[in-house]
Structure 1
Amino acid sequence: MEFRNGRVFLIFLTGLAIWFAQPVFANKVRGIFSAQQSCPAFVSKNKSINPDNAQILAGNRYDIIEVTKPNPPAWYRIVLPRVNPQARWVSATCGQAQITGEDTGDNESGESDNNCNTAGQADSYVLALTWQPAFCETKPDKPECEIIDPDAYHAKHFALHGLWPNKKNCNKNYAFCGTVKKKKDEFCDYPAIQLDTASQASLAEVMPSVIAGSCLERHEWHKHGSCQENWSINEFFDLSADLVRQFNDSGMAYFMNRRINQKVRTEDFLNRLEAVLGSSARDRIKLNCNQQGMMVEIQLSLSGDLIAGADLEKLIMNAPVQEKSNCGEMFRVDRIGQ
């Protein structure tokens, strides 16, 4: 009986050793990682590679794109904005994760599968608008950040970052539907795009990178605009510029101008948004702030029925709900040139 129990125990130990010897695989997922402490964000978790000493910050929320096996995961791969590469590994001990589903989108190399790089399949959109003065606090080396004229459009209005078609099954990875299939190292590495004179002038007003020559419009077209079936480059950017102006002219630019160089309650911003763009807008906007507490960008969720001349308020009304803001209860409105 003792030998029998010993053999069972030996088999158990052998199985346990084999289990621990198995390689750790990863699953592509969708979810949110809520950081509870500041922690390093590794490009390679196994080798602890973090070339730019990037960190997640306590209180911020990050998109999860991958988790290690087996459950519960020891590591989460998240998207860390404004670093390169953005995909980073963080330890599970640094926060709490909420997984919402599996991801069938882009693979690790940045190339899309056939379901996520086919034009004409968008079911919703995101309009991303930048408060340029705050953006330039984090990216002062960008050529457009040398434009510090207080009378420039982007000094007192939200500027265009991009108009992003989304497809539900692809999470945020619906992209690169044209001849370019992956992200370039530099925006000016993309093939040049041709805009007619009127569209060029319209876009240059709301996207300062066009004047500065930093090629953001190339990236936006090849990654996002190419997923619009039967839309020309002019049509894509004309609509993008029109939506920017609709948002600013609704009263939101005036709200920000009255509070330049001041702290603003997030609730006051959302109340004004709701007043001018409808009650649905509150749950369809995501506010992004930098580490200094300045609002850098907003991401506005829009419905899939997007056509030239579309009314922004109606697009918001039928749009999917957005993710939560990371700005907390207050944010600061930065002034150009500081």
Structure 2
Amino acid sequence: MRPGAVATALAIGLGLAGSLALPIAPARAASSTPGAFDFYVLSLSWSPGFCATGGDAKARDQCAAGSGLGFVVHGLWPQFTHGFPSDCGPAGRFPSRQALDTVAGVYPDAGLARYEWRKHGTCSGLSPTDYFAAVKQARDAVVVPQPFQAPRAEQTWAPMDVARAFAAANPGLRTDETAVTCRSGDLEEVRVCLAKDLRGFVPCPEVARASCRAPGMTVPPVR
């Protein structure tokens, strides 16, 4: 898979209202049976955007100067065509240290991995070890386009051009199988919809509708 080269340069003043994405629909009723879902959403968080919009108060290591983090895994979420399940397992069930060790360097920290297991992983129908293996498999299946591989200068992109860059870098991926979200005018996340067996991409209109509605957004550089 070859990274695609996408030329884009927009100089646009963004307002808060115009930059916010629509949220993914909430879970539908009676939807907490582990393994009962339609597809996965791999959510890749743009660390500089997350940190610039309040994340530095919640994730000091991720946002520390010199961390050099760009896209990191926010989560791998079981999803329905409409809505999503969450919190499908016993409240006290936690992944083992051995399971967490398998995703070292995939999530930005172990605390997020634990939270994502409780909220989303318990709905996968997998054991913690197998779920985290799926998270790593999904992350390895998606190529980050070259312009987002540790950029040192601020960029301005249209959300659709970010989606096109990911589609160009990942053969078989279409823009309607992704969502590009923003917060306060900054790139926040890229979400990619994957089949349950993680062997291909799938259309996900409801997820795609959560894309940023702004004509352009800032992509802060890595630190």
Asked if Structure 1 and Structure 2 have the same fold, meaning a TM-score greater than 0.5 normalized by the shorter chain, the answer is yes
Note the C-alpha offset of 1:140.
Answer: 1.8
Work out whether residues 259 and 333 of structure 1, in 8 Å CA contact, stay in contact via their aligned partners in 2: no
Q: Distance in 2 between matches of 1:64 and 1:289?
A: 13
Q: Distance in 1 between matches of 2:33 and 2:203?
A: 22
**Match 1:139 to one of 48, 55, 58:** 55
Higher strand share: 1
List alignment gaps of at least 5 residues for structure 1: 1-37, 39-55, 66-78, 80-102, 106-114, 181-189
Question: Alignment partner of 2:194: what SS?
Answer: strand
**Match 2:192 to one of 279, 300, 318:** 300
Q: What is the aligned partner in structure 1 of residue 118 from structure 2?
A: 222
Note the C-alpha offset of 1:62.
Answer: 3.0
Work out whether residues 23 and 210 of structure 2, in 8 Å CA contact, stay in contact via their aligned partners in 1: no
1:206 pairs with 2:90: no
Distance 1:262 1:326, change over 3 A: same
- For 2:211, the aligned partner's letter is S
Distance 1:276 1:335, change over 3 A: closer
Q: What is the aligned partner in structure 2 of residue 86 from structure 1?
A: none
Question: Alignment partner of 1:134: what SS?
Answer: helix
Note the C-alpha offset of 1:298.
Answer: 1.5
Question: Alignment partner of 1:203: what SS?
Answer: coil
Note the C-alpha offset of 1:177.
Answer: 1.5
Note the C-alpha offset of 1:327.
Answer: 5.0
List alignment gaps of at least 5 residues for structure 2: 1-14
Extract structure 1 runs of 4+ deviating beyond 6 A: none
- For 2:139, the aligned partner's letter is V
Work out whether residues 19 and 183 of structure 2, in 8 Å CA contact, stay in contact via their aligned partners in 1: no
Instruction: Tell me the alpha carbon deviations over residues 195-249 of structure 1, each in whole angstroms, 9 at most, x when there is no partner.
Output: 42xx534422121122xxxx222221122111122x22111112112222332xx
Question: Alignment partner of 2:35: what SS?
Answer: coil
Note the C-alpha offset of 1:297.
Answer: 0.9
Work out whether residues 303 and 320 of structure 1, in 8 Å CA contact, stay in contact via their aligned partners in 2: no
Q: Distance in 1 between matches of 2:129 and 2:163?
A: 32
Distance 1:204 1:64, change over 3 A: closer
Q: What is the aligned partner in structure 2 of residue 95 from structure 1?
A: none
**Match 1:62 to one of 19, 22, 26:** 22
Comparing both chains, which one has the higher relative contact order based on Cα–Cα distances under 8 Å and sequence gaps of 6 or more? 2
Q: Distance in 1 between matches of 2:163 and 2:178?
A: 9
1:325 pairs with 2:221: no
Q: Distance in 2 between matches of 1:143 and 1:274?
A: 30
- Aligned-residue CA RMSD (Å): 2.9
TM-score, normalized by length of structure 1?
0.53
Question: Alignment partner of 2:104: what SS?
Answer: helix
Work out whether residues 295 and 327 of structure 1, in 8 Å CA contact, stay in contact via their aligned partners in 2: no
Q: What is the aligned partner in structure 2 of residue 84 from structure 1?
A: none
- For 2:44, the aligned partner's letter is L
Note the C-alpha offset of 1:159.
Answer: 0.6
How many matched pairs?
205
Instruction: Tell me the alpha carbon deviations over residues 21-71 of structure 1, each in whole angstroms, 9 at most, x when there is no partner.
Output: xxxxxxxxxxxxxxxxx9xxxxxxxxxxxxxxxxx8256453497xxxxxx
Q: Distance in 2 between matches of 1:216 and 1:251?
A: 21
Q: What is the aligned partner in structure 1 of residue 4 from structure 2?
A: none
Distance 1:201 1:149, change over 3 A: farther
- Greater Cα radius of gyration, structure 1 or 2: 1
**Match 2:161 to one of 263, 268, 289:** 268
Work out whether residues 176 and 226 of structure 1, in 8 Å CA contact, stay in contact via their aligned partners in 2: yes
Q: Distance in 2 between matches of 1:259 and 1:266?
A: 20
Q: Distance in 1 between matches of 2:51 and 2:21?
A: 22
Work out whether residues 154 and 219 of structure 2, in 8 Å CA contact, stay in contact via their aligned partners in 1: yes
Q: What is the aligned partner in structure 2 of residue 148 from structure 1?
A: 64
